[in-house]
A and B are shown apart, each in its own frame.
Chain A
Amino acid sequence: MRFLAKLGELDVRWFYLAMILAIVATALLPTPMKVRLSPESEKYYNTIENLDGRKPVLVQSDWDQGTVGELRAQFINTVRHLFRKNVRVVFVSGIASGPEFYEPVVEQIAREYGKEYGKDWVSFGYKLAEPYDIAIEAIARDFPATVQLDAKGKRPSDYPWLRNVRTAADFALAISIRYDEMRAYITYFYEAAGTPYIAGVATISSTPLYPFLSTGNLRGLLVGSRGGGEYEQAMGKREYGTRFLSGQSAGHLLILIAILFGNIGYWASRRIRARGEE
């Protein structure tokens, strides 16, 4: 009983050490995990799958160093899916460091699918500054005036396929991949112009979004690293997103073991105290 009671008194630093060792192990070992699309990820996948490629898609990419773990796989596979469907893509960002992260990734995927800058995709960089509601309203009302110049210093009108893109109605779909969702797209793209909106978010931000999914205001949702891993496997790949799931599972398993140890220790120490009082 005393041994069990000691489980609850373990120095928390042993737990930290075990956690880091478990994560290091998942970085070095191959990943056998296989997952299927959850209903919210399936909706996200189908929304892109049903695009006909006549209108471009607006992608807001706001992942950087703080969210790279959860959002990188979501972004990579979203771009892959759009390029596979031969959809033209317009990239914008709502954070200053956004373009530094997404542009090299898009260039690499574009090479994979034989896509060219200016013909199949363009990047306007950091054009959605806070307050985001006003920035998204501006892009929905007058896209060329809001984004002004792209990464190459050209105006939207310099690209033939962007000449007629002026408002939210001229986009086929709006996608945001960032820590939390951009509800302004629901107001200014979906409700005002009928352009659907899908989002990839960090897990922490996902809980309040499910009601929006069931009403259809949000057409699809990717939730954290799970959403990224599921989407990656739906795209027939097994890379970073899949590998990440094993790290996440190892961490969760360790947390469950720690909770179990803590509760056993607590129960044992209460038993010891009760016997002492008798």
Chain B
Amino acid sequence: MIAEISWERTGAWLAAISVVAVLSLLWRPNAAYRTAEHALLGLATGFLVSVTWFEFLLPKWWIPLTESWREGVLPGAIGGMAALTLGLCWYGVYFRKTEWLMRLVLGIVVGASAGQAIRNQFTQQMPVLVSTFRSPVVIEEGQVLAWPSITNTLFLLAVVTVLLYFFFTFQQDSPRWRMARAVGRFWLMVGFGAYFGNTIMTRLAVLIERVWFVVDEFIRGFFR
């Protein structure tokens, strides 16, 4: 049975047609793909402008500022005006004479980010760094645990050889150094392989979801 036409269904079909238009690039570049691409860019830009105003500037800046102004709350009004002034300083970059204004706010942002990054180094990275110092022999209740000992030894080997691979302070070309670097390169390749495999998995997941959407909305939905 053919489905009844509704606004919701029309929107879903339009979305499904857009997906097919975008995927048509796999065949060759064409007008349908370019139309969908431009529509997406236009919609995304419009959406961003709307979100910036309605989700941020309006509730977090305009309403508190105007309310403070009306009620005569001086700190609120001054805060709102200060935020506007600092925000406008970003546009100083467009004129040579006012470029320094942009550097002023950029300095504040970089300073705040650097402060947070230093704290994050201690709370996030240090525990990870400490955990790399593992004993190659794991003993529990007087017994040497074989498997954890093997994995820890391999882990230590990987850490040391990868560090040697990136050791550029002075030139070392002896066969032992070359071998250590080759082992380090092997572990790096293992790491990059894991990254690449996971990248493929995510990209494939996006494709699967979109193809299923077309099947569900466009093909099954049409006869619902």
B141 within 8 A of A: no
Query: Which B residues touch A211, using CB under 8 A?
Result: 128, 131-132
10 closest pairs, A vs B, by CB?
A: A69-B209, A204-B202, A203-B201, A247-B208, A191-B123, A69-B205, A96-B51, A187-B123, A215-B127, A211-B128
Given A13-B27, A69-B209, A212-B128, 15 more A-B residue pairs with CB atoms under 8 Å apart are A16-B26, A23-B211, A66-B206, A187-B123, A202-B205, A204-B203, A205-B198, A207-B191, A207-B195, A207-B198, A211-B128, A224-B201, A248-B205, A252-B204, A255-B200
Taken together as a complex, chains A and B put the C-alpha atoms of A68 and B191 apart, in Å, by 27
B116 within 8 A of A: yes
Q: List 30 A-B contacts (CB under 8 A).
A: A13-B27, A19-B207, A20-B23, A24-B211, A26-B208, A27-B215, A66-B206, A69-B206, A70-B205, A96-B55, A126-B51, A126-B55, A133-B116, A133-B120, A134-B112, A183-B120, A186-B124, A202-B202, A203-B198, A204-B198, A204-B203, A207-B191, A207-B195, A224-B198, A224-B205, A244-B205, A248-B201, A248-B205, A248-B208, A251-B204
Q: Interface size for chain A: under 10, 10 to 19, 20 to 34, or 35 or more residues? A: 35 or more
Taken together as a complex, chains A and B put the C-alpha atoms of A224 and B201 apart, in Å, by 8
Within 8 A of B (CB), among A161-186: 183-184, 186
A263 within 8 A of B: no
Do A203 and B205 form a contact, CB below 8 Å, given A126-B55, A133-B116, A187-B123?
yes
> Per-residue CB proximity of A114-134 to B under 8 Å, as 1/0?
000000000000100101011
B171 within 8 A of A: no
Taken together as a complex, chains A and B put the C-alpha atoms of A9 and B109 apart, in Å, by 52
Q: Is the CB of A206 within 8 A of B200?
A: no
> Per-residue CB proximity of A191-204 to B under 8 Å, as 1/0?
11000000000111
Taken together as a complex, chains A and B put the C-alpha atoms of A126 and B211 apart, in Å, by 29
Query: Which A residues touch B113, using CB under 8 A?
Result: 131
Considering residues A13, A23, A184, which has the most beta carbons from chain B within 10 angstroms of its beta carbon? A23
Within 8 A of A (CB), among B189-224: 191, 194-195, 198-209, 211-212, 215-216
Q: Is the CB of B208 within 8 A of A244?
A: yes
Do A27 and B127 form a contact, CB below 8 Å, given A69-B209, A202-B205, A207-B198?
no
Query: Which A residues touch B195, using CB under 8 A?
Result: 207
A217 within 8 A of B: yes
Query: Which A residues touch B203, using CB under 8 A?
Result: 204
Q: Is the CB of A206 within 8 A of B51?
A: no
A225 within 8 A of B: yes
Q: Is the CB of B212 within 8 A of A225?
A: no
A274 within 8 A of B: no
Interface residues of chain A, those whose CB is within 8 Å of chain B, are: 13, 16, 19-20, 23-24, 26-28, 66, 68-70, 96, 126, 129, 131, 133-134, 137, 148, 183-184, 186-187, 190-192, 202-207, 211-212, 214-217, 224-226, 244, 247-248, 251-252, 255
B91 within 8 A of A: no
A-B contact count (CB 8 A): 107
B119 to chain A, nearest CB (A): 6
Do A187 and B207 form a contact, CB below 8 Å, given A23-B212, A70-B202, A207-B194?
no
Q: Is the CB of B55 within 8 A of A204?
A: no
Query: Which B residues touch A186, using CB under 8 A?
Result: 123-124
Closest to A217 in B: B127
Closest to A127 in B: B55
Q: Is the CB of B116 within 8 A of A134?
A: yes
Closest to A192 in B: B123
B115 to chain A, nearest CB (A): 10
Q: Is the CB of B205 within 8 A of A225?
A: yes
Considering residues A66, A190, A225, which has the most beta carbons from chain B within 10 angstroms of its beta carbon? A225
Query: Which B residues touch A26, using CB under 8 A?
Result: 208
Taken together as a complex, chains A and B put the C-alpha atoms of A20 and B209 apart, in Å, by 11
Query: Which A residues touch B55, using CB under 8 A?
Result: 96, 126, 129
Taken together as a complex, chains A and B put the C-alpha atoms of A133 and B178 apart, in Å, by 42
B60 to chain A, nearest CB (A): 9
Closest to A246 in B: B208
B56 within 8 A of A: yes
Q: Is the CB of A214 within 8 A of B205?
A: no
Closest to A255 in B: B200
